[in-house]
A = this chain, B = another copy of it.
Amino acid sequence: MRDGTLGVAVIGTGRMGSDHVRRIDEVISGARVAAVVDLDGERAKGVAALVDGCAAYTDPAAAMAADDVDAVIIASPGPAHEAALLEAFARDLPVLCEKPLTPDAASALRVVEAETRLGHRRVQVGFMRRFDAEFGQLKAVLDGGGLGRTLMLHCTHRNASTPPGFTSRMTINDSVVHEADVTRWLLGQEITAVTVLRPAPSAAAPEGLSDPQLVLFETSGGAVVDVEIFVNCGFGYQVRCEAVGEHGTARAGDAHGLYVNAAGRWGGEIAQDYVVRFKDAYDREVQAWVDATRRGGVIGPSAWDGYAAAAVCEAGVRAQESGGRTAVTLAERPDLYRAADRS
C-alpha cells in the first residue's frame, strides 16, 4: 500500500461499480481507486478520468497486475465473477465481490474450493444488509439471547417496479437471495428446504411475471421463514424483517424519519430505491472491507455464504416452477469456513 492507502481496482462500471468508485473516492477513509475495468474501454476511461491517478483497463487481469492495485472490487455482471475471483486468488488479492458470488451453485462451489486450496479467506461477498444499522441491532438482540431461540422470521421485500426484462427467476436470484443470506446470518443455520406460493399476480406486474410471491424457508435448526417478495408494489422500496423468539419479537425496517401532519394524514416518505434505503449500509460495508483489508484480515459474508445462497436460489427456482417443497443440498463445509465470521 502506498502511504498506507489501499489501492483498489473496481471491475465493472455499471450502476453499482460506478457507485463504488464514487464511494471510495469521496466517502471511504484509507482507500483510493487505483484502477477501473470495463470491457467497454471508452466507458472505463470516462470513469477513470473522474478520479486523480486512476488508470483504465479492459482486462481485469491487467488491472490486478498493476503495481498500485492492492485489492479488488468485483461489480461486473455475475457470469464474469468466477474468472475474476480465480485471477484474484492467483495474485492473492483481497476481494469485495458484489452478489451473486457467481450465477449458480456449481460455479460458486468451484470458487469455494479454489479459496480452500489457497488456504485462507480472500473474499467478502456483497450482502450489504449485514452492515445496515437496524439489521445489525436485530442480529445483536437475537445473539444477546434475551428473546430466546429464534423460531420464525417474517420478511417483506418490496420494490416500486421492475426494469424491463425482469423475470420470475430473477425475483429469486436477485431479490430473495438477500433474504436467504439474512436468514442464514441471523440464525447461524443453513436453509434446508424452499417452497414458493404464487398468488394470482398483480395487474401491475408485467405479463408473465409472478408478482407477488410468498417464499418459505425451513432451516437446519427447525425455524420457518416467510418472505413476501413483491417487485412491483408501486409505492416504494421497503425491506423489513421480524424475528419471532421464544420470549419476544424484534423487527427491523419500519419506515421512519421525518414525521409530517398535512392534508388530513400523518406519516412520512418511503424510500424509492435500495441505493437510498441502504446507502449507509453500502458505505459501512465498503469501509469495513477496507479497514479489515488494511489490517490484513477478512470479515463479512464468505465465499461459503455466497455458495450457500446460490444453492438456496437454485432450489427456490425449482420450487417456483414445481409449486412443491424443494430440498436444498449443500456440499460439505470446508474447515476454512467453520469459524464463521458473524459480522
- A residues apposed to B, CB below 8 Å: 3-4, 25-30, 52, 133-134, 137-138, 141, 146-149, 151-152, 154, 156, 197-204, 212, 214, 216, 218, 221-224, 226, 228, 230, 233-236, 238, 244, 246-252, 254-270, 272, 280, 287, 291
Contact = CB atoms under 8 A, between A and B. Distances in A.
Given A152-B212, A152-B214, A224-B214, A246 B27 contact: no
A268 B233 CA distance: 18
Nearest to A3: B3
Contacts of A230: 151-152, 244
B248 A234 contact: yes
Nearest to A262: B248
A295 B42 CA distance: 27
Interface centre among A28, A152, A201, by most chain B C-beta atoms within 10 angstroms, is A152
Interface centre among A141, A197, A265, A272, by most chain B C-beta atoms within 10 angstroms, is A265
B257 A133 contact: yes
12 contacts: A26-B30, A141-B258, A146-B262, A197-B218, A200-B223, A214-B226, A230-B244, A234-B262, A260-B267, A261-B270, A266-B269, A267-B267
Contacts of A268: 265-267
Contacts of A134: 257-258
B52 A202 contact: no
Given A202-B246, A291-B26, A151 B263 contact: no
Given A256-B256, A266-B255, A261 B249 contact: yes
B151 A154 contact: no
Interface centre among A28, A228, A230, A262, by most chain B C-beta atoms within 10 angstroms, is A262
A215 to B, nearest CB: 11
A286 to B, nearest CB: 11
B199 A223 contact: yes
B260 A250 contact: yes
B246 A263 contact: no
Given A154-B154, A199-B152, A269 B258 contact: no
A247 B270 contact: no
A4 B197 CA distance: 53
Interface centre among A29, A148, A221, A228, by most chain B C-beta atoms within 10 angstroms, is A29
A200 B222 contact: yes
A265 B267 contact: yes
B280 A270 contact: no
B52 A4 contact: yes
Contacts of A238: 261
Nearest to A24: B29
B270 A266 contact: yes
Contact of A247 (B149, B151, B262): B262
A228 B287 CA distance: 38
Given A152-B230, A235-B264, 13 more contacts: A27-B29, A137-B258, A147-B262, A148-B203, A151-B201, A151-B202, A151-B230, A152-B212, A200-B223, A233-B248, A233-B249, A250-B261, A265-B270
B222 A248 contact: no
A212 B258 contact: no
Contacts of A214: 152, 216, 224, 226
